[in-house]
Amino acid sequence: MQHTLKSLIHFHGVGLHGGQPVAMIVRPAPANHGIHFVRTDVSGKNNIIPALWNHVTDTKLCTVISNDDKVSVGTVEHLMAALHGCHIDNALIEINGPEVPIMDGSSLAFVHEIERVGLIKQDAPRHIIRILDDIIVRDGDKMVTLSPAPESTFSGEIDFNHPMIGRQNYQTEIVNGNFPHELAECRTFGFEKEVQYLRSIGLARGGSLNNAIVLGEDNVLNPQGLRRPDEFIRHKLLDAVGDLALAGARIQGRYHGVKAGHDMNNRILHALFANSGAWEWTTDNVIPLTPHLSTRNREMIRA
């Protein structure tokens, strides 16, 4: 069944890239409402932005969604991951600026507040996108796949030429409270040598050691260090959970990302919905069938 929040929750923070203070309220919403953002600082034009894959307009360093009036909100992925990971189907998000507050660079603050107020079960079945066949998107050495699986599973691999990262891989299922315990606290990360350049082009102005892991030449600059030895790949999967939550429904299948980011995550959704034979709508009132594992209707996109 679908779920929403028992009561509204408030957040205050700064935008990661603009560095401006922002206030946000996440409100309960009725069944079949989905997730929508409302820019309360915008008037005279449409200020409602659906949290959907076909409203993504930028994927440089974060995911930005926009409406037809070019009203946008960015860095939605950590909040979307928290809503999805905590099984919230319906919410109205009021925000007075162009970016979701970065908080500590993870989904942890959002998850804590969701767990504090709790959820309400709604009188409507949850919509599910069941993956029936493999979808593959490649771009050089990057790759994302969606494939049949009995649960919503996320796995990935990264490989950075840095002694604190190197090659990492991880897999988890978004069931039984796994997201809050396995991914939610894992923070975004960046490299000290890139900070000045990003700020020169108007990005990362709100970034600090309080809301990101910052890597020097051979070390982590944050005094408290890492929360997990493999925090980097876990954060990449946190991002993937948030980006794929923009599908508009829970995906029953396996996501696997190799050196993937926001752009590849959005491209896999475009590829999925372009291939009607590779997926089907169902609900959680239907007992899932074991998806077939053939390569029928395989779609491969090469950049």
Residues labelled as active-site residues = 262
Q: Give the whole-angstrom CA distance, residue 97 versus residue 81.
A: 20
Query: Tokens for 81?
Result: 């991951």
Encoded tokens for 249: 């429904």
Cα-based distances in Å from 214 to 74, 101, 151, 219, 274: 21, 18, 34, 9, 38
User: Can you state the angle between helices 231-244 and 77-85, rounded to 10 degrees?
Assistant: 80
Distances (CA, A) of 39 to 24, 86, 109: 10, 24, 21
Tokens of 223: 């005094």
Compute the distance between CA of residue 60 and CA of residue 51 in angstroms, rounded to an integer. 17
* Unique residue bearing structure tokens 């930028």: 58
Q: Report the relative pairing of strands 213-215 and 189-191 from DSSP bridges.
A: parallel
77-85 and 108-117 helices, crossing angle to 10°: 40
Distance CA 143, CA 140 (A): 8
Q: What CA–CA distance (Å, rounded) separates 3 from 115?
A: 13
